[in-house]
Amino acid sequence: MDTPRAGQASRDGESVDLLFDARHIRQSGIGTYIRTQIPVLEQVLKERGFRLAILADRNAAPDTSEETRVILADPAEARMYSMGEQRVWRRALSATRPQALWVPHYPFPFALTSPRNRDVRYFSTVHDTLHIEDKKLSDQNRAKNAYAWTMLKLSARRAATIFTPSQATARSMAAIAPSSEVLVTPIPVDDVWFSEADPASSPIQRPYILYVGNIKRHKNLPVLLDAFATISDSIPHTLVIAGGDESLRTLDDRINQLVAGLGERVQLTGRLPFDSLRALVAQADLLVMPSLFEGAGLPPLEAMASGTAVLASDIAVLRETCGDGAEYFDPHDSEALAELVKKYCDNEDARASLSHRGELHVKRRQSEIVSTATAEKICSFLSEVPIG
């Protein structure tokens, strides 16, 4: 089950101190989180003399140092929340016999209930509690909602510490499991977003307004489409929807109707290579995030790092994430959003000022994040465990 690597064979079958589940490294939000954690884990655990193993799918195995053991998931490509995922964890725990397991999402590994794993320290990251929210936000049926509740409660009961990317998610977890230890560890923006992007890599010609994300209900895309339809005749901008598929497969028929009515004034890019996405963000006049719910919200920060002005919905988590670097609007008021979009599309000086505010905020936020906080917390528990 280990991936073939030079110098690896002699270490097969050895126990490790921490097993980190990195199978979802290709996903957007959780993938960014996983990618930022791996080098920090490698650095901190090596300094402390602890052994690290990474659980990964064969086609998505991350680059790691020679000291890191890579375990290939069996079965491969198991879906999140599936029984296949449960088998992956059971086999990986058996192969590595770790002192601790860190799963960066909240489904609970039932293998931890086995007597042989009862001493394994368990850490979970809860990015958001969307799956237990009202159906108006989550699109979850009753069975999926009940499953999410069960998994969250089991994880909270077993976890030594729950990590969250925002105070907003921490407050939600406190309501679910008030006795659990929750540590807020904000996600930093990848340093590459602060470097200059190649304008030629952008698939869309300027000027345009940009939305980055999927088309799920909580993303609240209709309010942006309504606002754009109101002002589309008075500005030269295209509305670009990036991420997800090139077709709008959504439960909300209004989205399809609004996009069809706007014709070529709306462009859907689908998923893009990273360099193209980065250029697309950097060349946008505005990035608009109209969400009704988020766990943290990285796209506005990535836009700020790229020098792009940001308009964000006035919800607690985006206030927390974006601070004074964004201009805010009521996510239920398309007319107010339309006025705000037109103001910044028409006024280059106002747009530059907002962009500058965003750059200052994201750089300040970046400097305040302790990137090693999560790894250090795990190491504090490992230090209490006798090394066998």
So what's the pLDDT on residue 4?
37
Q: Parallel, antiparallel, or unpaired: how do β-strands 327-329 and 309-313 relate?
A: parallel
Categorize the per-residue pLDDT at 13 as very low, low, confident or very high, splitting at 50, 70 and 90. Answer: low
Element (H, E) at 212: strand 208-212
So what's the pLDDT on residue 139?
67
Residue 305 CA to residue 94 CA, distance in Å, equals: 42
301 pLDDT exceeds 50? Answer: yes
Cβ contact 104:187 at 8 Å: no
Asked if domains 9-188+369-382 and 191-368 share a fold, the reply is yes
pLDDT tens-digit profile of 302-341? 999 999 999 999 999 999 999 999 999 999 999 999 999 9
Q: What are phi and psi of 211, to 5 degrees?
A: -120, 130
Q: How far is CA 345 from CA 158, 261, 312, in A?
A: 50, 22, 15
pLDDT tens-digit profile of 328-374? 999 999 999 999 999 999 999 999 999 999 999 999 999 999 999 99
The residue-averaged pLDDT of 280-293 equals: 97
Categorize the per-residue pLDDT at 97 as very low, low, confident or very high, splitting at 50, 70 and 90. Answer: very high
pLDDT tens-digit profile of 240-280? 999 765 555 555 677 888 888 888 999 999 889 999 999 99
Strand partners, 266: 239
Supply the mean pLDDT for the chain: 90
pTM (2 d.p.): 0.87
pLDDT tens-digit profile of 179-208? 899 999 999 999 999 999 999 999 999 999
Domain boundaries, the chain: 9-188+369-382, 191-368
Pick the CATH number of 9-188+369-382 from 3.40.50.2000, 3.30.1300.10, 3.10.450.710, 3.30.465.10: 3.40.50.2000
Element (H, E) at 154: helix 142-158
So what's the pLDDT on residue 3?
43
Tell me which architecture the domain covering 191-368 has in CATH: 3-Layer(aba) Sandwich (3.40)
Q: Parallel, antiparallel, or unpaired: how do β-strands 327-329 and 238-242 relate?
A: unpaired
Report the 10 Å Cβ neighbour count for 355.
21
